[in-house]
Amino acid sequence: MKKRVCIIYTGGTIGMEKTENGYAPGKVHLHSALNEIANMGSSTLPSFDLVEYDPLLDSSNISLQEWIQIARDIEGRYDHYDGFVILHGTDTMAYTASALSFMLDGLTKPVILTGSQIPFSEIRNDARDNLITALTLAGNYSVPEVCLYFGGLLLRGNRATKISADDLVSFDSPNYPPLAEVGVRITLEDKMIRRPGSGLKLTEFGQHQIAVLKIFPGIQFEVFENIMTEHLKGIVIEAFGAGNIPDSQGTMQKLLERAKRNGTIVVVCTQCLKGSAIIGEYEVSEELAKAGAVSGYDMTVEAAVAKLYYLLSMGYNIETVKRLMAENLRGELTKVL
């Protein structure tokens, strides 16, 4: 039987058209590309249906609301399809991939996000290969997890990060190998792929105040004191190297004490593309340890943000959220012992 894939079109460059004010999401070129692909009668391509969002979004405008919408649309159609392809802008694709990996537990089929750097409306584009390969993977291959396909790479969604604003290979997963070799042939890296889950279970994210703070030399922590209210449920600190922060002026200490008093969960990730943040490795991370901050290990910031939303939405107490932040739940982290 011919495989069936559901395409969910949220917007992004892949379907954009040129307007007086620059590229904006559209339908015409994407529809004609899909018609052309469907009419090719290829035996390897699955048949597909299209779910189209209104309005179509530049992914800079994607919010929790759309994440929930995508997750619900997958859940509602789950039994009718062999896989799902989400067409999405590249700017926040890694965030959405991370969010879906936490919202959709127990996956038994592929959910693949893709998009392009050059739209179908341009004669030279990366849209065609990205879409056709994502469809092929979603329909015919056993990859029961949320992935991101782009520029010849199939990546675990919650390990992916956008590494280039203009190259056609725009994503990488520096701390985890690609899930497939996609060249003349497609070869899955079976050992790298998660085992199928026991059936889809959806957890919708709730609205929680979360912040990300990137450390830089000369940072004046008092600038950020006002964000440290009791409403802030979690903060991801992008620290230097292995999880280090400047400790010479003592002002970080005040900020961390305030976080502790307010019950704000502090997660430490590294600014480096590769490697792990481990609190306690260097003396300069001592303040973080004292404040009860959690090591984010080799998680991307995108995954750390999504995981905070997820764990806070599960209604766990603070200690449980902290403990689970440092555990591997969906293949998003490698714990260093």
List, by residue number, the catalytic residues.
13
How many helices (DSSP H) and strands (DSSP E) are in the chain? 8, 18
Residue nearest ligand ASP by beta-carbon distance: 89
Closest CB 164 distance from ligand ASP, rounded Å? 10
| Contact in structure between 80 and 200 (CB atoms under 8 Å) | no
Binding status of residue 125 toward ligand ASP by CB under 6 A: no
Instruction: Give buried/exposed letters for 307-325 (b at 16+ CB in 10 A, else e).
Output: bbbbbbbeeeeeeebbebb
Which residue, 87 or 279, has its beta carbon nearer to ligand ASP?
A: 87
Interacting residues of 260 by C-beta distance below 8 A, sequence separation 6+:
291, 292
Which residue, 29 or 330, has its beta carbon nearer to ligand ASP?
A: 29
Contact range with ligand ASP by CB under 6 A, out of 42-50, 58-66, 74-82, 322-330: 58-66
End-to-end CA distance of the chain: 47
Site pattern 191..230 for ligand ASP (x: CB under 6 A): ----------------------------------------
Closest CB 92 distance from ligand ASP, rounded Å? 6
Nearest alpha carbon to residue 322 among 279, 264, 283, 258: 264
Q: Which of 7, 30, 45, 59 binds ligand ASP (CB under 6 A)?
A: 59
Contact range with ligand ASP by CB under 6 A, out of 53-61, 179-187, 220-228, 258-266: 53-61
Q: Which of 13, 101, 125, 136 binds ligand ASP (CB under 6 A)?
A: 13
Closest CB 177 distance from ligand ASP, rounded Å? 24
How many residues in the shown chain lie near ligand ASP by CB under 6 A?
11
Q: Which of 58, 66, 145, 287 binds ligand ASP (CB under 6 A)?
A: 58
User: What is the DSSP secondary structure assignment for residue 297, as one 8-state letter?
Assistant: B
Q: Which of 35, 60, 65, 262 binds ligand ASP (CB under 6 A)?
A: 60
Binding status of residue 145 toward ligand ASP by CB under 6 A: no
Answer left, alpha or beta for residue 97, where phi above 0 means left and psi between -120 and 50 means alpha. Answer: alpha
Closest CB 60 distance from ligand ASP, rounded Å? 6
Write the DSSP assignment of 256-293 as a string of letters: HHHHHHHT-EEEEEESSSSS-B-TTSSGGGHHHHHTT-
Which residue, 94 or 104, has its beta carbon nearer to ligand ASP?
A: 94
| Contact in structure between 274 and 251 (CB atoms under 8 Å) | no
| Contact in structure between 239 and 231 (CB atoms under 8 Å) | no
Angle, helix 301-313 to helix 93-103, in steps of 10 degrees: 30
In whole angstroms, give the CA distance from residue 60 to residue 291.
33
Contact range with ligand ASP by CB under 6 A, out of 39-47, 88-96, 221-229, 291-299: 88-96
Q: Which of 52, 91, 247, 257 binds ligand ASP (CB under 6 A)?
A: 91
Residue 97 has a CB neighbour count (10 Å cut-off) of: 30
Which residue, 59 or 161, has its beta carbon nearer to ligand ASP?
A: 59
Binding status of residue 90 toward ligand ASP by CB under 6 A: yes
Binding status of residue 300 toward ligand ASP by CB under 6 A: no
Radius of gyration, CA atoms only, the chain: 21
Binding status of residue 12 toward ligand ASP by CB under 6 A: yes
Strand, helix or coil at 71? helix
Contact range with ligand ASP by CB under 6 A, out of 54-62, 246-254, 272-280, 302-310: 54-62
Contact residues for ligand ASP, defined by CB under 6 A: 11-13, 58-60, 89-91, 115, 117
